[in-house]
Amino acid sequence: MSSKRPPAPPPAIEGYRYVSLLGSGGFSDVYLYEQDRPKRKVAVKVLVADLKTEGARRRFESEANLMAQLSTHPFIVTIYEADITGDGHSYLAMEYCSRPSLDVRYRSGPLGVDEVLSLGIQVASAVETAHRAGIVHRDIKPANILVTDYNRPALTDFGISGTTDSIDDDAGMSIPWSPPEAFQGEGADGIKIDIWALGATLYTLLAGRSPFVRPGGDNSQRELMNRIATSPVPPLRRADVPESLEQALATAMAKAPSSRFPTAHAFALALQRIQAELNLSVTPFEVLEEAHPGDEPPQDDGGEATRVRQVVSIDPNATTNSPTVFRPRFPERTNTAQQPDDRTVLRAAHSGTEPTTGWVPSPPAGAENTAYDGESATQPTAGFGDTHYEGGDTAVVPRRRKNLVGIIGGAAAVVVLAVAAVLVVTAPEPEAAESQPPVSQPPANAIEGLSGNVVPPEELAGKVDGDDAVFTWTNPDKRDGDLFIWTPVTALGKGEPQRTPDPGVSIPVAENDRTCIEVVVLRANGKSSDPVRGCAD
């Protein structure tokens, strides 16, 4: 915050103890207080202007209530309390963010592309959440993006001052991050103002200065306002900043509000596409989903949901060892004599294969012992609880029959091995290797008639000449019949592709902002190169 005026004395607030001054702005002071109950440090923002009328108080309270609803968002500062001091000044007690704000960070040096993309998506989700609640910020800038103790951005200062009688609509305006229409004194679209300011903020983090500040030049308010209204967004000229990001920022800061991203969500989607283009992890867009009619909360199962598994059983009268899958049903128990309450753990071993565990009904009294390997006949299995199954045709293999099946299976395996050995010895020799070329051998030529892929154009450059943008390029692998397809490109999409036989084109400059195109080489056989993108400076 700037210090154009001396801060006011900290007010006495019941339940809070003053600690220190955090900052001072044109219409508010921010102090560090310690709250008594619960014991914690809080930032208290006190508006300088007093609320003289009852209508102003009601508007402040209404907007404070909306802010409290927004403060549940992970990237918006949490509001603890909104009230009015004894001398008539409104204040907000909010989350204290101890880390340096983005204003402090960018003044120490530009931030990395990956961090700026992530910050942009996170703050855009906070802005979109506010817009959906009917609140516009009007003063997005690096100083109003705090950083929490967990190193997350937290947007603050949602224009509470706009509700006071003594503050003009543009009192909180920060010129370096404001769009042209903000200087005209007319009713402007607050959503489009916020989109411009967010784009200018991300530009500032990447450049280490606001978009229209010229190092060593005249950076007075009048000159800044003139450049914002008439000059195109200057290129960042950073080798690690892709052209797509330059274009997204230029779209967010287009002179005409209608040429900007329609919503903060659309801006965030463009930033997510750039993350994917750079093979970076895509940052989630955090916004509250609206409940749809008919949606009902899930029923509480008491934390004892049953996981239904397949139960494997073996038929003792079958001629093979193949298990049959028993899919349990859940009827009411009607015959307790045939379905006793205890359960048997079945461990069926098939010639050395892994054992399978499942529920089967216990045999009737007097049957042979079926608890194998020392396992209890009533040992429970996790995940089933008290769920009952119908026994059906499920049976248990007694120990003696199990051993007999294992012996027979082993003998059968010996016979199979012997037969396989005889077949290997008597098999005919393969044909000559020349008649069986390797499958992995690549084809002689992947593209018929060409020695390789179509080489894309090179040295694509653009220059603004009056009202036109002039682009030129070269064709490094020129062939007879070559044409070029060029397409105007913006962060919102692409225009209609057009053909030209010449390595150059002149098009009108779009809204005095960056004008970009994509160019591909088109061969006479219909094949084309990868696109190359360039912008006019």
204 CB contacts (<8 Å, ≥6 apart)?
A: 106, 141, 142, 176, 177, 210, 211
**Residue 4, annotated ligand binder?**
no
466 CB contacts (<8 Å, ≥6 apart)?
A: none
The pair of structure tokens assigned to 57 is 């108080």
Q: What is the dihedral of CA 104, 107, 112, 117, to 10 degrees?
A: 60
Question: How far is the first Cα of the chain from the last one, in angstroms, to the nearest whole number?
Answer: 33
What 3-state DSSP class applies to 234? coil
Kindly give the interhelix angle for 113-132 and 264-277, rounded to the nearest 10 degrees. 160
Catalytic residue among 29, 36, 139, 240: 139
341 an active-site residue? no
For residue 528, the 8-state DSSP code is B
Interatomic CA distance for residues 393 and 360, integer angstroms: 10
According to DSSP, the residues that pair with 534 across neighbouring strands are 517
For residue 373, the 8-state DSSP code is G
Burial class, 384, CB count within 10 angstroms (exposed 0-12 / middle 13-18 / buried 19+): middle
218 CB contacts (<8 Å, ≥6 apart)?
A: none
Interatomic CA distance for residues 474 and 461, integer angstroms: 10
Active site residues: 139
Which residues sit in the known binding site for ATP? 45
Which residues sit in the known binding site? 45
